[in-house]
Copies of this chain bind each other. A is one copy, B any other.
């Protein structure tokens, strides 16, 4: 099925992801497991089920489909990245980190459960991500699976998402140190948010079996998309209504956090978002209709209101 609108594809992926996550996060112990402690699996289910745009799984599926890969393999790879995304939200919300009480309009995990459960739920979600990605549901060829594991790990680890969160905390000045300049902000955001968005597209290309030229074009696309996502996020924080966004807004300014909006103002950030959207779609100029969902994804990311 060829879908030209990314949002249609995303809605379809979201439905399939929900069912697949329901199975992955079964309260029943799986073969080789002694038990799944009730409170832990409950917290993991609370975090992962019943919501979320499933943007990252949709990007994996959309990129894989460009190369003819359909079926549940790309979706399973997408679930792995969604578990990493979910773990990072749980840990970022902790009192010692961003100290957030609200996420998608509901109490955060450490508020709905407790801090220890939140830490362990995040830890176990990261583990589950790599277990899922290494399983033969993702792809028959183990060489493809190890490449996916390495790609996700690089995007999530100290040189990617976790490192970006560390730089973000440092940007608040909590460890001392000088204010961030433009280049530092871009790098921090590229690591914290961009790396996982980029990895989603890259993993789609890997699981779809893309050639090296196609992968390079997709990498250019993904880099622009990842930055566009972060700029849109900063604009949402600066302009969005908490009721619509589903979490506290205006936090960045209150925390004196270095964002592109703080440095260049709302109008400057809007211009940057337009440039990035054009860069993203421009990187796909060598592809035909099969790239329409990803072109649409760039517009989706720029226009999202939550």
Copies of this chain per assembly: 2
Does A187 belong to the interface (CB within 8 Å)? yes
Residues of B near A37 (CB, < 8 A) are: 158, 163, 166-167, 170
Which of B96, B163, B167, B187 is close to A124, meaning CB atoms less than 8 Å apart? B163
Assess whether A158 is in contact with B34, with CB atoms less than 8 Å apart: no
Interface residues of A in 86-131 (CB under 8 A from B): 87, 91, 94, 96-97, 114-117, 119-120, 122-124, 126-128, 130-131
Does A268 belong to the interface (CB within 8 Å)? no
Residues of B near A146 (CB, < 8 A) are: 134, 142, 145-146, 149
- Which one of A39-47, A56-64, A236-244, A252-260 is at the B interface? A39-47
Residues of B near A116 (CB, < 8 A) are: 94, 96-97, 169, 174
Does A157 belong to the interface (CB within 8 Å)? yes
Range of interface residues on A (Cβ < 8 Å) = 35 or more
Residues of B near A30 (CB, < 8 A) are: 159
How distant is the Cα of A115 from the Cα of B110 in the complex, in angstroms? 15
CB distance from A291 to the nearest CB of B (A): 24
Known interface pairs A157-B131, A190-B34. Does A170 touch B91 (Cβ–Cβ under 8 Å)?
Answer: no
- The residue in chain B whose Cβ has the minimal distance to the Cβ of A123 is B162
How distant is the Cα of A141 from the Cα of B142 in the complex, in angstroms? 9
Assess whether A166 is in contact with B117, with CB atoms less than 8 Å apart: yes
Does A154 belong to the interface (CB within 8 Å)? yes
Assess whether A156 is in contact with B127, with CB atoms less than 8 Å apart: yes
CB distance from A219 to the nearest CB of B (A): 11
CB distance from A181 to the nearest CB of B (A): 14
Which are the 6 A-B pairs with shortest beta-carbon distances?
Answer: A33-B159, A131-B153, A96-B115, A127-B157, A134-B149, A124-B158
User: Footprint of B on A, CB under 8 Å?
Assistant: 29-30, 32-37, 39-41, 44, 87, 91, 94, 96-97, 114-117, 119-120, 122-124, 126-128, 130-131, 133-135, 141-143, 145-146, 149-150, 153-154, 156-160, 162-163, 165-167, 169-170, 174-175, 187, 190-191, 195
